[in-house]
Chain A
Amino acid sequence: MRVGPSVRQLGPFRIEVGQPSGAWTLAVSAVAIFAAFIAAGGIFWAYGVNPIHAYAVIAHDVLVVPGAFPEIFRSTIPLLLTGVGLVLAFRAQFYNIGAEGQLLAGAVAATGVALFTPIRGPMTLPVMFAAGFVGGALWGLLPSLLKLRLNVNEVITTLMMNYIALYFVSWLVTGPWRGPSVRGFAYTDQFPLSAWLPLIPGTRIHWPTLVLGVVLAAGCAVLLARTRLGFAIRVQGENPEAARYVGINALRTTLLVMLLSGGAAGLAGVGEVAGVHHKLLDPNQVSLGYGYTAIIVAWLARGQALATLITATLFGLIYSSGDVMQVSLQMPFRVTSVFNGLILFFLIGSERLLAYRVRWAPRRAPADPPASAAAPHRPSGEEQWE
């Protein structure tokens, strides 16, 4: 987010300075998505499908068809949990790309509890979630230590940790953890029933995880806005120099943020194995790229923990739309990659418009989220996750 001097020179959009950023962000994003729809319409057209008809079918089959609507939230759940954690990390200027691996680590930890400990009964699920949180947090520990101690770029180390997690899970399910009851396939045994998350009747939404996600989003919003740690995260993220002056312990802040961020992704992993699969399986089948999509979810939320509720749902909607394109319009699955790629390009392309907006400005309307009100400015406009 660029603030301060650069705003002065920004031509026709100058007039808009000082308006509430939330509405503007929503409006620009909506226009960007709309533009992406038009561009994607070209693909439908190339496939001989009338784009208007295509979107009508999508809207109908995503929202109206019985049973379809709840399905949106099944992919929202992992995106929400992971996205909230990433918002925290990005606010502290820790660019955690490793949610995918942290999610898998959480799934592994939960599987370990479900299958290889004697814990049964009502305590199983809480212990699984706790273990998953610890697993995800530990998976993020090495990159954060490297960053803090040796100043190693965390984008790269967290990305590498994803692959290490991937091969680790693959080794587990083909090797030591392969279940005796799965006829030689690369799965663990199925979890005992006490390790299955309950579903909302009539849907496949494992609601405890969803509740956990909403609570976490709210909790992180409060944490950022109202607590000392939140203040430290904001200051450190926006002006590390200032953070040092006010005596903020960078090591402690970053470590805490990273533990929370990795832990949240780990919770998402627990939700997937305990709520969807009920076993550990090929890593690509567990995470489905949620860890990467969550980066976009968090980035679109622009530092607001509560906004992930919207952005994660948006991506749940996009996932569902992709399903509908394949089933109802009988299009190849790669259409969804093109569609998602286009939406992303238009969303980040529209950033330029947003850059002219002041969201965490010093003179703000009272309606602004308190999270940003006290935040000091960064010295320059070169940060990436805005």
Chain B
Amino acid sequence: MRGHVSRWLTSAVVIAVLLAFIPMGYAQQKLKVGFIYVGPIGDYGWTNAHDVARRLVEQQLPVETLYVESVPEGRVEPFIDRLVAQGAKVIFTTSFGFMDGTVAAAQRYPNVIFAHASGFKRARNLATYMADFYQVYYLNGLMAGALTKTNKVGYVGAFPIPEVKRHLDAYALGVRAVNPQATIQVRWLQDWFSPPKAKEATQALIADGVDVFAFTEDSPTVIQESAKKNLLSFAHYSPMYKFAPKQVVSGELVHWETIYLDFLRKVLAGKYSADNLQDVDYWWLLAEKAVEVGAEPGMMINPLFVSRLKAATVKTADLGTLSVYDLVQRRIAQMSKNPVAFDPFAGPIKDRKGVLRVPAGQTLTVAELTSMEWAAPGVVGPWPGEP
């Protein structure tokens, strides 16, 4: 029996070793592009949006894509190693937490092109990119300010980090531009994806009298939960209109493919190489069509709410008195130009403690936007790290 077992083991090992040396794959003509995701593709939020874009890229460009999902922060480097071993020449890492790992990998693979989403460290072969929502949140805020009856709008935030704070502040500035009495009530989840937490945070806001919701969480939970009480909401990231067609007013949609297509076209054309990315930072907004206002592609505002938005009027410094609906349209037009004719963070802006954050006649730089910690006036609730 012992002899039998060891014979069996020996042959198994031999087979395994033989298999291991079978040459794999074949010569690839197409450019291989790797994507490293922080969450599961099935999250219907951030990672899902990147994957939708990846598939569009594969359809439209002569490239082959590889992806890895749910990658823990500490393991981004080994996964980059494996993607490079698979022949990836361009690698996108799609989470802030991957920053240091991507920087290290970029040093180790000087001939591979890297691009890191939402970070701020670049190198000759490492670019950064972000499709940011702050303008869209401002526009959502304008609508929310007009639609709230309790003068309390809510925001369910994922983490109290600059990205979410920036969106929240833009949203709050929009709300206050239309409705100076309104407050913006905040709850934090300390989680990017957690339906149970998002649900109870929504309920806590409902109990506080909030009647319009916006959020940063990778599921439609806030929409579904507020819709049960027939309360209004703005969708986040993915097309969520169908989760509450009677209550979703508008929202934010992302088109990562605009950035990926542009970047990869320039790589294919030889314009971007592993040598000239030091200053390549995509900070793409409405004007570049990287983001869209709406809860469903092509539908900017749910038709059910158009008449109410047209009925509400607002007085502005630059455009005079007009309906909120028109204001939204004008602001979109202003922000769809390059350079923009309007910025939500145009001074003077004081934070909720009364400290002047943006002097009159100025706007914020990208660096200031991506490190924003202060809370806009009207924001009520905990604000960890408030300066």
Would A and B touch once assembled, by the CB under 8 A criterion? yes
Give A148-189 as 1s and 0s: 1 = Cβ < 8 Å from B's Cβ atoms: 000000000000000000000010001100100001111000
For the complex, what is the distance from the CA of A45 to the CA of B107, rounded to whole Å? 39
- Nearest B-chain residue to A187, judged by Cβ: B97
* Residues of chain A contacted by B12 (CB below 8 angstroms): 30, 34
Q: A15-B1, A34-B12 are in contact. List 10 more A-B contacts (CB 8 A).
A: A56-B20, A61-B24, A174-B384, A186-B190, A204-B77, A327-B66, A328-B82, A330-B66, A333-B68, A333-B70
User: Does A252 sit at the interface, judged by CB under 8 A?
Assistant: no
Known: A67-B85, A174-B384, A332-B69. A323 touches B190 (CB 8 A): no
* Chain B interface size, under 10 / 10 to 19 / 20 to 34 / 35 or more: 35 or more
Known: A183-B161, A183-B370, A186-B159. A56 touches B385 (CB 8 A): no
B23-58 residues at the A interface, CB under 8 angstroms: 24, 40-41
B112 to chain A, nearest CB (A): 14
Cβ A60 vs Cβ B19 within 8 A: yes
- Nearest A-chain residue to B34, judged by Cβ: A327
User: Does A19 sit at the interface, judged by CB under 8 A?
Assistant: yes
For the complex, what is the distance from the CA of A118 to the CA of B121, rounded to whole Å? 29
Cβ B384 vs Cβ A175 within 8 A: yes
Known: A60-B21, A184-B371. A327 touches B2 (CB 8 A): no
* Residues of chain A contacted by B22 (CB below 8 angstroms): 56, 60
Give A46-67 as 1s and 0s: 1 = Cβ < 8 Å from B's Cβ atoms: 0000001001110111011111
Known: A55-B19, A59-B19, A185-B161. A68 touches B85 (CB 8 A): yes
For the complex, what is the distance from the CA of A288 to the CA of B96, rounded to whole Å? 18
For the complex, what is the distance from the CA of A30 to the CA of B73, rounded to whole Å? 33
For the complex, what is the distance from the CA of A19 to the CA of B24, rounded to whole Å? 42
Cβ A323 vs Cβ B384 within 8 A: no
Cβ B161 vs Cβ A184 within 8 A: yes
Of A57, A327, A333, chain B has the most CB atoms within 10 Å of the CB of A327
* Residues of chain B contacted by A288 (CB below 8 angstroms): 72, 74-75
Cβ A19 vs Cβ B190 within 8 A: no
* Residues of chain B contacted by A30 (CB below 8 angstroms): 9, 12
Cβ contacts A to B, 22 pairs, < 8 Å: A16-B1, A19-B2, A23-B5, A23-B6, A34-B12, A56-B20, A56-B22, A60-B20, A60-B22, A61-B82, A66-B85, A67-B85, A71-B81, A178-B384, A183-B161, A184-B165, A185-B159, A282-B73, A285-B74, A332-B41, A332-B69, A333-B69
B31 to chain A, nearest CB (A): 16
Cβ B40 vs Cβ A333 within 8 A: yes
Cβ B162 vs Cβ A277 within 8 A: no
Cβ B96 vs Cβ A276 within 8 A: no
User: Does A281 sit at the interface, judged by CB under 8 A?
Assistant: yes
For the complex, what is the distance from the CA of A63 to the CA of B85, rounded to whole Å? 13
For the complex, what is the distance from the CA of A277 to the CA of B20, rounded to whole Å? 32
Known: A174-B384, A185-B161. A74 touches B78 (CB 8 A): yes
B170 to chain A, nearest CB (A): 16
For the complex, what is the distance from the CA of A51 to the CA of B190, rounded to whole Å? 41
Cβ B385 vs Cβ A184 within 8 A: yes
User: Does B269 sit at the interface, judged by CB under 8 A?
Assistant: no
Known: A184-B160, A328-B86. A57 touches B81 (CB 8 A): no
- Nearest B-chain residue to A275, judged by Cβ: B74
A contacts with B: majority SS: helix
For the complex, what is the distance from the CA of A59 to the CA of B21, rounded to whole Å? 9
User: Does A272 sit at the interface, judged by CB under 8 A?
Assistant: yes
Of A34, A286, A323, chain B has the most CB atoms within 10 Å of the CB of A323
Known: A60-B21, A67-B81, A285-B73. A327 touches B371 (CB 8 A): no
B55-97 residues at the A interface, CB under 8 angstroms: 66-70, 72-75, 77-79, 81-83, 85-86, 96-97
Give the 3 A-B residue pairs with the shortest CB-CB distance, closest first.
A56-B19, A59-B20, A327-B82
User: Does B211 sit at the interface, judged by CB under 8 A?
Assistant: no
Cβ A174 vs Cβ B159 within 8 A: yes
B269 to chain A, nearest CB (A): 27
Known: A59-B20, A285-B74, A333-B70. A184 touches B373 (CB 8 A): yes
User: Does A324 sit at the interface, judged by CB under 8 A?
Assistant: yes
Cβ A327 vs Cβ B68 within 8 A: yes
A177 to chain B, nearest CB (A): 12
User: Does B360 sit at the interface, judged by CB under 8 A?
Assistant: no
User: Does A27 sit at the interface, judged by CB under 8 A?
Assistant: yes
A242-284 residues at the B interface, CB under 8 angstroms: 272, 276-277, 281-282, 284
From the candidates A19, A68, A174, A185, name the one contacting B81 in the complex (CB within 8 A).
A68
For the complex, what is the distance from the CA of A316 to the CA of B2, rounded to whole Å? 28
* Residues of chain A contacted by B79 (CB below 8 angstroms): 323, 326-327
For the complex, what is the distance from the CA of A67 to the CA of B84, rounded to whole Å? 11
Give A11-31 as 1s and 0s: 1 = Cβ < 8 Å from B's Cβ atoms: 000011001000100010010
User: Does B16 sit at the interface, judged by CB under 8 A?
Assistant: yes
* Residues of chain A contacted by B70 (CB below 8 angstroms): 333
For the complex, what is the distance from the CA of A327 to the CA of B66, rounded to whole Å? 7
- Nearest B-chain residue to A326, judged by Cβ: B68
Cβ A277 vs Cβ B78 within 8 A: no
- Nearest A-chain residue to B160, judged by Cβ: A184
For the complex, what is the distance from the CA of A74 to the CA of B24, rounded to whole Å? 26
For the complex, what is the distance from the CA of A282 to the CA of B193, rounded to whole Å? 14
Cβ A327 vs Cβ B24 within 8 A: no
For the complex, what is the distance from the CA of A174 to the CA of B77, rounded to whole Å? 25
- Nearest A-chain residue to B373, judged by Cβ: A184
For the complex, what is the distance from the CA of A286 to the CA of B74, rounded to whole Å? 8
Known: A27-B5, A184-B373. A281 touches B73 (CB 8 A): yes
Give B150-178 as 1s and 0s: 1 = Cβ < 8 Å from A's Cβ atoms: 00000000011110010000000000000
Cβ B69 vs Cβ A326 within 8 A: yes
For the complex, what is the distance from the CA of A288 to the CA of B371, rounded to whole Å? 29
Cβ B74 vs Cβ A71 within 8 A: no
For the complex, what is the distance from the CA of A327 to the CA of B6, rounded to whole Å? 33
* Residues of chain A contacted by B41 (CB below 8 angstroms): 332
